[in-house]
Amino acid sequence: MVAQIINGNEVAKSIRAELKEEIAGMKMSGVTPGLVVIIVGEDPASQVYVRKKGEACVELGIDSETIRLPAETTEQELLDLIEKYNNDKKFDGILVQLPLPKHINEQNVLLRIDPSKDVDGFHPVNVGKMVVGAEDCYLPCTPHGIQELLVRSGNDPKGKHVVVIGRSNIVGKPITNILLQKAPGADATVTICHSRTQNMSGFTKQADILIAAIGVPNFVKADMVREGVVVIDVGVNRINDPTAKNGTRLVGDVDFESVKEKAKAITPVPGGVGPMTITMLMKNTVKAAKIHHNLKK
C-alpha cells in the first residue's frame, strides 16, 4: 500500500486563498479584520512564529500589529496592555504568544483576554463553547487545522473510530471534543490514550484515524497500527542526525518510514499539521471580525 501524503502546505494554501477572497469582500463593506500579537521576551521559536503570523496577515490583507515586550515586563503591565486592546475596536483578535516568562501567570493572562477576541481559542469561555458545540466560539488553531486536513484530504471522520494519543489542553483534549460533535467534519467515535494508558497498542490498532500528539520522537511504530489507517502526526521533535547539515532534523511522533507502508494516508513532519496552525488563526480572526461587525457568516 502506498500512503497518500496529506500535504499541509497545499491545504493551508487553499484555505488562505478562500480567506483572501473573503477578506476582499469584507473590505468592500468597510470592514478590515484586525489582529494584535503580543510577545514577551526573546524566545527564538516564539520570534519565528510571531514573524510568520505577521507575514500571513500581510498576505491576506488583515490589519496587524505586533507588540514586543522585554522579558522583565510585569504581569500587571501585560494585563493592562491586554485590557487596552480589549477595548480597541480596530482589533478583532488578540493573541499573546506562549510561553511567557516564568514570573507571569499564563492562566491570568489568558483569562484577561476578551473571549470575543480570543482567536487562539484558549479562554475557558471558548473551551466551554467548544465542548457544547456552540457556533460562535473560536476553535483552537492546531486541532481545527487537523479537522480541516482530514476533511479536505477526503478522510472525513464521520462514523470513524478516531484514536488520539495525548491529552494536552492544546491538542489532545480539544481535538477529541471537536471530532465527537454532532456536526459536519465530526460525528466520530473517539478514544483518547495517554502516558498512563496500559496496552496502548490494543487501542491504536483499532483506529481508523490515529492522531499522535504525545511529544515523543517516532513513538508510533508500524506494529501499533492496522493496514489502511489514516495517520495525523502532530509531533515536532528535533533529534540528532549526523547526516544533516546542522546535525539535527525534525521528526514527528510517528515513525514515518515504517508506518507509511501500512497507512492509507499520513501527514509528514515537517509540512503536515504545522502549516495549518497559523492559517486557522487567520480564519478565526476573520470569524471574529464578522461577529463584531454583524456580517453574514
Catalytic residues: 53, 97, 120
Q: Where are the domains of the chain?
A: 30-115, 141-274
Q: List phi, psi (to 5°) of 147.
A: -60, -45
d(CA 206, CA 59): 42
pLDDT for the residue numbered 245: 84
pLDDT for the residue numbered 244: 82
**Kind and range of the H or E run holding 164:** strand 161-165
pLDDT for the residue numbered 132: 96
| C-beta of residue 159 within 8 angstroms of C-beta of residue 130 | no
| C-beta of residue 146 within 8 angstroms of C-beta of residue 210 | no
| C-beta of residue 256 within 8 angstroms of C-beta of residue 269 | yes
The SS3 of residue 143 is helix
pLDDT for the residue numbered 192: 98
pLDDT in tens, the chain (297 residues): 678 999 999 999 999 999 999 999 999 999 999 999 999 999 888 999 999 999 999 999 999 999 999 999 999 999 999 999 999 999 999 999 999 999 999 999 999 999 999 999 999 999 999 999 998 899 999 999 999 999 999 999 999 999 999 999 999 999 999 999 999 999 999 999 999 999 999 999 999 999 999 999 999 999 999 999 999 999 999 989 888 888 888 899 999 999 999 999 999 999 999 999 999 999 999 999 999 999 876
CATH 3.30.300.30 assigned to domain 141-274? The reply is: no
pLDDT for the residue numbered 2: 79
Asked if the bond preceding 217 is cis, omega within 30° of 0, the reply is: no
The CATH H-level (homologous superfamily) assignment of domain 30-115 is: Leucine Dehydrogenase, chain A, domain 1 (3.40.50.10860)
